[in-house]
Amino acid sequence: MLQAIAYLSRIKLTGGCKKLKKQILSTILTLCLCVASISKTYAWQENQDPIQQENFLVEESIDESVLYENTNIPTYQEAYNRMIALQTKYPEGMEWTNYTPYSLNNSYTWKGGKIEGVNSGVGCVAFAFLLSDEAFNNLPGRMLTGVKLSDVKVGDILRVNNYAHTVIVLQVSDTGVIIAEGNYNSSVHWGRSMSKDEIEAANCLITRYPEGYIPPDDPTANDPIEGGEGTLGENLTWKLTKSGTLTISGNGTMPDFSEFTDRPWNNHIDKILKIVIEDGVTNVSNNAFYNSNALNVNIPASVKTIGINAFRKSQIISVTIPNNVKTISDGAFCECPNLSSVTISDSVKTIGERAFRGCRELTSIYLPASIESVGAGAFMGCDNMKSAIFAPGDADKTVILGDNMFTQCYRLVNVTLPKKIDHIGVGMFQICSALSSLNIPQGAESIEEQAFASCYSLTKLNIPDSITRIGTAAFSACNQLKDIYFSGNEEQWNRIGKTADINISLQQVTIHYNNPNTETSTESSTETSTESSTETSTESSTETENTINKPEIKASELEPENSKKVIVSIETNEKNAKIYYTTNGSEPTINSNEYTEPFEISGTDETIIIKAITVVNNKISEVVVKEIKFSNNISDIKFGDVDGKIGITANDASLVLEKVLNDIFKLPIEEKTTNYMKYTDVDGDGKLTATDASIIFQKTLNPEFVMPVESEN
C-alpha cells in the first residue's frame, strides 16, 4: 500500500480528479490508514506423471517460534547420517500421497525459508522438505537453475519432470546420485538412482549450502583464502579460512568503518559464513559485517558495544548478546532475513533505532529488566513477531520508548510493557492488526499520534490516570475497540487533551472509570473480527473463596487467504497458573494441551470450539468456551467489505485504491466471487475508481453514512 500511495502521488490528474487524488492522499496520511500489501496464497499444482501423482507447494505462515541451538553447516556425512536415520520412521513402502500424512489443510512447513514465495508443501515436496530439515535444521535454502552434476551435494533437493516430482539427494558420485522420495507410486522410496543426464535435465536445484561452501572436513578448510588475513587496528588480527570462518583475535577495539571499502575483508564479504570474535575484543565496530553471508556469530563477554549496522542485512540465524554488552546500536541487526532467535543478556541498557527492524523471521523478543531505552522503529516490520515481553524491572525506573517501535508487526498478540514508561510513541503499534488488548503502565504521560492506528483487532485498552494527552488519529480505524479501562475518575478523563477525531473514534467505546488494576479487567468479553464468536462459561459449584479466575480466550484475525486464519491467545490473572485447552469441543483436563504461546487455527465453512481452564495448586477454574465460526458464504459479505471480513474498515478502502492503481492486483473478495464489482463499486457507476475508495473511507469514519449502492438496494 505504501508503494501505491507513492505511485498515486506521482500520477498526473486534472480538474476534479486531481482534487480527489489530493483528498484521498490527505485522508490516508492523516488517519494513517496505510496497510501492507496483502500476502498472497499460492497453490502450485504440479503436472501429473505416469509414476508420480500430482504434488503441491503452498505458501503459509510459519506457525510457531522455534529456537535453534545449532546453526552449523553439516558435513556431507553428517547430512547423510541424519537423513538415513529417518528410514526407520518412514520405511520403504509407507503410504505417502498428497493427502497422507500431509494435506493442503495440514501441509509441512519447511525451516529453510521461502523459495519463490513457497515454504510448505504436501506429497513428494513435504517428504523432501522433511528430510532436508533433519539434515540442515534452520539453514536457509536457495534455488539454482541450469543444474550440473558438479553442483549437486548430499541433502540437495531436485525438482524434476517439468516440476512434477521432487526428490532429495542421499549420495553423490561421478556418474549420478542416489535419492529418497515420497509419493513415488503413492509411497516412500529409498535408494533409487538418477543418472547424470537425468540430473542435468532437472528444472531446478534447492540447496541449503552457502555459495562457495567448503566442508569443514576438507583438508584445506582451515587454510586462509588468498588475501584473507592481516592486522586490524592497533592490536587485532583477522583471518578468513576457505571454509568461510572469519576470526577476529587480540586485545582491544575494532576500528569503525565509515565506508564498506575500509573493511579489510570487504572483497571477501560474500565468503564469510561464520564469525568468531575471540575474547579480548571489546566491541563490534560500525558496519563491520554489513551484508555478509554469515549464518552465525560468536560474541565474547569482553564485548561491550555492538556498533551501528554491525550485522545489518547479514544472514545470521540466531544471536546471543552476552553479559557486559551495554549498547546495541542503531541498525545493528536491521533487515537480517533469517534471524529467528535473539537472546539479550541483562547487562544491555540501550537498544538503538531500527536495531532489529525488518527481521521477518523473529517471532518473539524478551527484553531484560536492565533496559533503559529502546529506539524508534527498533522492531518495526518484524511481521512474524507474536510476542514482545519486557521483564518487570524497577517500578521507579522510567524506560524510554521510541516511536514506531512495533509498527507493522501484523501478528503481534502478546505485549508486556515495562512497569514504568515515558509514553506510547507515535505509531508505536500502528498496523499491529492482531493485537487485541494492551495494558499501558502507570507513569506514561501521553498516547501519541497514530499510536494504535489500524489495529483492527484491538478491543480493550487499560489506560492509567498519568496520561495527559492523546494525539491525533491515535485510534484511527480501531473499529473493534469496545472498552477502555481508565484508572482515574471521569473528571480526570475529561481533562486529558484530545483532538476532535479522538472523541469521534471513541463514540462507541465504553470508558470504565476508577479501574485501579490496569493489568486486568473482570468486565472484558471480547469478540473476534471473524464471522462470529461467542464466549460462555459453565456454572461452577466451587465456593467463592476457593474460586480460581477463569482464563480469557482471545482470537485475532490475520490477513484472509483461501481459508481464514486467526491467532488464539489465552490469558489468566492467576499467578503461577497453568492453562489447559482443547480445540475439538471436548472438556479440558490437566492431560489436555498446555497453553504456552499463541497459536493459529484456520477454517473455511465450520465452527471451531475452544475450551480452556486455569489450574492453580490443584484447583481448577470454570471452563471457558469460545466458538469461532468460519464462513465462506458470500451472502455474509456487505457492500464495501473488500477484504472479506465482517465490517467496513480502512483496509477495505486501501485495497480498493490499490486495485485502482494496479489492475492485476487481486482483491481478497475475488477468492469468493467473480462478481466482486458488486461489493467494490460502491458508487454504482459500473467502474472501480478512486471515488469508490473515498466513499469507503467515509463509511469507515461514519458507520451511519449510506453509500450510494446501499441506497439502491
Q: Name the β-bridge partners of 556.
A: 567
Q: Which of 471, 472, 429, 436 lies closest to 454 in space, CA to CA?
A: 429
Order of strands across the sheet that contains 552-557: 552-557, 564-571, 599-603
Euclidean distance between CA atoms 602 and 613, whole angstroms = 22
CATH dotted code for 532-630: 2.60.40
- The C-alpha cell at 642 is 473488500
Cis peptide before 101 (omega within 30 of 0): yes
Which span out of 41-45, 72-76, 108-112, 596-600 was modeled with the highest average pLDDT? 108-112
* pLDDT for the residue 33: 33
Inter-residue contact 305 to 283 (CB < 8 Å): yes
**Residue 54, pLDDT above cutoff 80:** no
- Looking at domain 50-207, its CATH class is alpha beta
* pLDDT for the residue 542: 35
* pLDDT for the residue 91: 94
Distance of CA 559 to the CA centre of its chain: 12
**Residue 85, pLDDT above cutoff 80:** yes
- The C-alpha cell at 679 is 461489493
pLDDT interval class at 701 (50, 70, 90): low
**Residue 400, pLDDT above cutoff 90:** yes
Please count the CA atoms within 13 angstroms of the CA of 448 that sit on its side-chain side. Answer: 15
**Residue 565, pLDDT above cutoff 90:** no
278-333 pLDDT, tens per residue?
999 999 999 999 999 888 899 999 999 999 999 999 989 889 999 999 999 999 99
More confident residue, 334 or 273: 334
* pLDDT for the residue 687: 82
Euclidean distance between CA atoms 480 and 456, whole angstroms = 6
Inter-residue contact 132 to 86 (CB < 8 Å): no
Q: Compute, in degrees rounded to 10, the torsion defined by CA atoms 25, 27, 32, 36.
A: -50
Which span out of 24-28, 76-80, 88-92 was modeled with the highest average pLDDT? 88-92
**Residue 659, pLDDT above cutoff 90:** no
Inter-residue contact 158 to 202 (CB < 8 Å): yes
How does the average pLDDT of the chain come out, rounded?
Answer: 80
* pLDDT for the residue 55: 43
Euclidean distance between CA atoms 527 and 533, whole angstroms = 6
pLDDT interval class at 538 (50, 70, 90): very low
Inter-residue contact 65 to 363 (CB < 8 Å): yes
**Residue 222, pLDDT above cutoff 80:** yes
Which span out of 63-77, 212-226, 533-547 was modeled with the highest average pLDDT? 212-226
* pLDDT for the residue 683: 81
208-212, 366-370, 372-376, 377-381, range with the lowest pLDDT: 208-212
Query: What residues does CATH 1.10.1330.10 cover in the chain?
Result: 2-31+634-712
More confident residue, 522 or 448: 448
Give per-residue burial for 213-246: e unless 16+ CB within 10 Å, then b: bbbbeeeeeeeebeebbeebbeebebbbbbbbbb
β-strands 599-603, 564-571: how paired? antiparallel
Percent over 70 (pLDDT), the chain:
78
Euclidean distance between CA atoms 249 and 233, whole angstroms = 11
pLDDT interval class at 672 (50, 70, 90): low
The 3-state secondary structure of 485-499 reads EECCCHHHHHHCEEC
Query: What residues does CATH 2.60.40 cover in the chain?
Result: 532-630
pLDDT interval class at 641 (50, 70, 90): confident
* pLDDT for the residue 674: 62
Euclidean distance between CA atoms 546 and 100, whole angstroms = 47
Phi/psi of residue 624, each to 5°?
-100, 135
* pLDDT for the residue 440: 96
**Residue 575, pLDDT above cutoff 50:** yes
pLDDT interval class at 5 (50, 70, 90): very low
Q: Which of 109, 139, 112 lies closest to 121 in space, CA to CA?
A: 109
Q: Which of 262, 266, 265 lies closest to 247 in space, CA to CA?
A: 265
* pLDDT for the residue 661: 66
**Residue 628, pLDDT above cutoff 50:** yes
The 3-state secondary structure of 150-191 reads HHCCCCCEEEECCCCEEEEEEEECCCEEEEEEEEECCEEEEE
Inter-residue contact 28 to 654 (CB < 8 Å): yes
Inter-residue contact 578 to 548 (CB < 8 Å): no
Q: Compute the average pLDDT of residues 681-702.
A: 79
pTM over 0.85? The answer is: no
Query: What CATH homologous superfamily does 2-31+634-712 map to?
Result: Dockerin domain (1.10.1330.10)
* pLDDT for the residue 636: 55
155-164, 487-496, 565-574, range with the lowest pLDDT: 565-574
**Residue 543, pLDDT above cutoff 90:** no
Q: At what angle do helices 690-701 and 650-661 cross, to 10 degrees?
A: 170
Residue 97: other Cβ atoms inside 10 A: 19
The one-character DSSP state at 422 is S
Query: What residues does CATH 3.90.1720 cover in the chain?
Result: 50-207
121-125, 145-149, 538-542, 590-594, range with the lowest pLDDT: 538-542
642-653 pLDDT, tens per residue?
765 556 776 777
Please count the CA atoms within 13 angstroms of the CA of 25 that sit on its side-chain side. Answer: 15
pLDDT interval class at 254 (50, 70, 90): very high
The amino acid at residue 92 is E
257-276 pLDDT, tens per residue?
999 999 999 999 988 988 99
